[in-house]
Amino acid sequence: MDTSRALKTILMAAVVSAGVVACGDGSGGLPDPHYLLRGAVAGAGDVSSAHIEMTSSGVVAGLPVQNMSADVVAPKGSAAGASVGTVESVGVRVNFVERKGVLYSRGQDGKYAPVQQIHGAGTLPHPSTLLDPDHGLAHTLADLKNVVTEVREDHDGTLAFRVTGDLPAADVGAWLPGVHADKRIAVWFAATGRHQPLGTRLTVPGSTPASIDFTLSNLNRKVQVPQVV
């Protein structure tokens, strides 16, 4: 499978690398959700880098970020992950670099300085955490509770199976700082072929429900992260 092809999800980079075997849907039945999720977890170690997009809709307490776009190098062994990208909040757009677990924002002079928070955007997830096999989204899939394949439906023009499950608060907080409560997550898998993942959405309940969507592309391509010192 060509892993350079764009895939629409962050957890699911792993699935593509693993080459999930098709279970077939000719009978019209819905596949076992554990079958679909196991493939995502199995290939996590094969993803060395990716382009990540995160978009939030509605008000998500603890996450005032509306959009984040980053090129990410995954952690590997004792080597820390790294990333470079931009984040947008209301009226604010900030360029950042992540190295060795520290976020740096770029000033008007083009120089980077370490920051505890991005001004105007609150506490950000460290993008490399999302590709961390021990704490990121691949680990999250393995830890989902009460999973079910709900329906076969259209997802952005592709026939897909929607799998949902409960996400423990500890897993949410590991890659979304400030979000500390159990959440419901949905993952869409293509209904035919190798059941490639197509999208991921974290639902945040409340009086006005909100959601966080992730997409992933450019798997295992070379990523250049600027030096910050």
The Cβ of residue 168 has, within 10 Å, a number of other Cβ atoms equal to: 15
Distance between CA atoms of residues 168 and 180, nearest Å: 9
β-bridge mates for residue 159, sequence order = 154
Quickly state the pLDDT bin for 172 (edges 50, 70, 90): confident
Quickly state the pLDDT bin for 2 (edges 50, 70, 90): very low
Query: Does 117 have pLDDT greater than 60?
Result: yes
Q: 182-220 pLDDT, tens per residue? A: 788 898 888 887 777 777 888 877 667 788 888 877 878
Q: 18-69 pLDDT, tens per residue? A: 333 334 443 458 999 999 888 767 665 678 898 999 888 877 776 777 889 9
DSSP annotation string for 128-171: GGGG-TTTSHHHHHHT-EEEEEEEEEEETTEEEEEEEEEE-HHH
β-bridge mates for residue 197, sequence order = 189
Rounded to the nearest integer, the mean pLDDT of the chain is 77
Query: Does 17 have pLDDT greater than 50?
Result: no
Q: What does pTM read for this prediction?
A: 0.75
Domain residue ranges of the chain, discontinuous segments joined by +: 13-73+125-217
In this predicted structure, what is the pLDDT of residue 66? 84
Classify residue 222 by burial, with Cβ atoms within 10 Å: 0-12, 13-18, 19+: exposed
Quickly state the pLDDT bin for 120 (edges 50, 70, 90): low
Token digits of residue 122: 């609150």
∠ CA 205-177-62, rounded to 5° = 50
Query: Does 164 have pLDDT greater than 90?
Result: yes
| Range ranked top by mean pLDDT from 13-17, 156-160, 198-202 | 156-160
CATH 2.60.40.180: does it fit domain 13-73+125-217? no
Region 163-189: what's the mean pLDDT? 80
Token digits of residue 70: 């980053």
